[in-house]
C-alpha cells in the first residue's frame, strides 16, 4: 500500500511539473524519421540504459566509448583528479540522436560516478520525461569529467584538458543535436557569448552540428518560483523535439 501511495505521489508531482511548463501533450509513439546513416532517429523505448563504458560503437580511429571511459576514469591531466571520488564519463543510449552536455559533476555525481543524479539531475530527468523519453534513451555528459571543488565553474585549463574526451564521445555518438545546459557548456561550444539571453532558445552551429543552448537545471532550481523560466526551457525543448521530428 505504501509503495502504491508513493507511486501515486510521484505521478502527481510529474503531472504538476508538466502543467507548470505547459507540456500539454499526450504521450504517443509516432513514426521515427530515419537517419541518413541508417541509425534510428529515436531510441527504442524498451532498450535498457547503456553506460558509456559498455557501448560498442567506435570512433573513426577505432576507440570506442568503453576505451574513452576507461581513460577518463584513470585521467590525471589536471588538478581536479586529486579531489575526485570517481570520474564521471557520461551515460545513456549511444544510438540516441540527442546529447545533453552540462558543466561538470556535483557531489552526488562524484559519489555515484554518474552524470546528473543530484537535485538538478532529477529536474533534468523530468524535462526529458516531458519530451516523451526516459533518460536512458538519451546521452548525458559534461564538459569536465571530475567535480570542481565546491562545484565552482571549471577553469579554462581544466576544460581544455577534458575537451578531447568530449570530442571523442561526440565522434562516437554522432548526435543530430546537442543541448547545452547553462552558460559554461554554451561557452565551450560557442565562445565569446556575452550572455545566455542572447543565444538561449536559438539554434547555433558547432562543427556542422546544431546546438540548442538552454538554462542549466540548477538555474531553474535557484529560481524555483519563476514559472516563466521553466516555460522558456520547455519552449527550447519543443524546438529540439520539432527538429528531431523533421518539422
CB 217 within 8 A of CB 227: no
pLDDT, position 28: 36
pLDDT, position 14: 52
pLDDT single digits (tens) 85-134: 999 999 999 999 999 999 999 999 999 999 999 999 999 999 999 999 99
pLDDT, position 49: 33
Write the Ramachandran bin of 90: left for phi over 0, alpha for psi from -120 to 50, otherwise beta: left
- Distance, in Å, from the CA atom of 156 to the CA atom of 60, rounded to the nearest integer, reads 28
Residue boundaries of the structural domains of the chain? 34-245
The CATH fold assigned to 34-245 is: Uracil-DNA Glycosylase, subunit E (3.40.470)
pTM, two decimal places: 0.80
β-strands 204-206, 209-214: how paired? antiparallel
The sign of the CA dihedral 190, 192, 196, 200 is negative
Intervals of the chain under pLDDT 50: 24-57, 60
Amino acid at each position: 500500500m505504501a509503495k502504491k501511495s508513493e507511486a501515486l505521489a510521484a505521478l502527481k508531482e510529474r503531472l504538476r511539473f508538466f502543467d507548470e511548463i505547459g507540456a500539454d501533450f499526450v504521450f504517443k509513439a509516432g513514426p521515427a524519421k530515419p537517419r541518413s546513416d541508417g541509425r534510428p532517429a529515436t531510441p527504442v523505448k524498451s532498450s535498457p540504459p547503456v553506460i558509456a563504458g559498455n557501448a560498442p560503437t567506435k570512433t573513426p580511429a577505432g576507440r570506442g566509448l568503453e576505451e574513452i571511459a576507461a581513460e577518463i576514469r584513470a585521467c590525471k591531466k589536471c588538478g581536479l583528479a586529486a579531489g575526485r571520488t570517481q570520474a564521471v564519463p557520461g551515460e545513456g543510449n549511444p544510438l540516441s540522436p540527442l546529447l545533453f552536455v552540462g558543466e561538470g559533476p556535483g557531489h552526488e555525481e562524484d559519489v555515484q560516478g554518474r552524470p546528473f543524479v543530484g537535485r538538478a539531475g532529477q529536474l533534468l530527468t523530468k524535462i526529458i520525461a516531458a519530451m516523451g523519453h526516459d533518460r536512458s534513451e538519451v546521452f548525458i555528459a559534461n564538459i569536465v569529467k571530475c567535480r570542481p571543488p565546491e562545484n565552482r565553474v571549471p577553469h579554462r585549463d581544466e576544460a581544455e584538458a577534458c575537451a578531447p574526451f568530449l570530442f571523442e564521445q561526440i565522434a562516437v555518438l554522432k548526435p543530430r543535436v546537442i543541448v547545452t545546459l547553462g552558460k559554461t557548456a554554451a561557452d565551450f561550444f560557442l565562445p565569446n557569448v556575452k550572455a545566455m539571453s542572447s543565444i538561449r532558445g536559438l539554434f547555433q552551429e558547432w562543427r556542422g552540428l546544431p546546438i540548442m543552448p538552454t538554462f542549466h537545471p540548477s538555474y531553474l532550481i535557484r529560481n524555483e518560483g519563476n514559472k516563466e523560466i521553466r516555460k522558456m526551457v520547455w519552449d527550447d525543448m519543443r524546438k529540439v523535439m520539432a527538429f528531431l521530428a523533421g518539422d
